[in-house]
Amino acid sequence: AQKITQTQPGMFVQEKEAVTLDCTYDTSDPSYGLFWYKQPSSGEMIFLIYQGSYDQQNATEGRYSLNFQKARKSANLVISASQLGDSAMYFCAMREGMNTGNQFYFGTGTSLTVIP
């Protein structure tokens, strides 16, 4: 079974609007971390936001917020007030277990295009 599932290959959003990128995960470990990365066409992965499995509050970082629904095993990324520079690939990732050196599992990504 896939550890991380991203079901939206491509998304479009109007500039200044909000957009939600979906991510579901699969793990039996009660301790895990969820990450979102942005990958522009240049290739470098840029860390956006983190949510720990024991965090009570949804994570927020500037215009990024994470809609964490633990029972549904979903960790959707919400980007508010979209900008043209937000156009990129977005990847959801998970690290299982307490060992913070454990590997990351990535989804297949969502391509976001912001329309002027």
Partner 1 sequence: DAGVTQSPTHLIKTRGQQVTLRCSPKSGHDTVSWYQQALGQGPQFIFQYYEEEERQRGNFPDRFSGHQFPNYSSELNVNALLLGDSALYLCASSSFSGKYNEQFFGPGTRLTVL
Q: Residue from 25, 32, 37, 68 that binds partner 1 (CB under 8 A)?
A: 37
Among 109, 96, 104, CA closest to 38: 109
- With 0-12 CB in 10 A as exposed, 13-18 as middle and 19+ as buried, what is 10? exposed
Q: Report the relative pairing of strands 19-21 and 74-79 from DSSP bridges.
A: antiparallel
Nearer Cβ to partner 1 (93/112): 93
Is there binding between residue 38 and partner 1 (CB under 8 A)?
no
Sites for partner 1 among residues 84-113 (CB under 8 A): 91, 93, 95, 100-109
Contact set with partner 1 (CB under 8 A): 4, 6, 33, 35, 37, 42-47, 50, 52, 91, 93, 95, 100-109
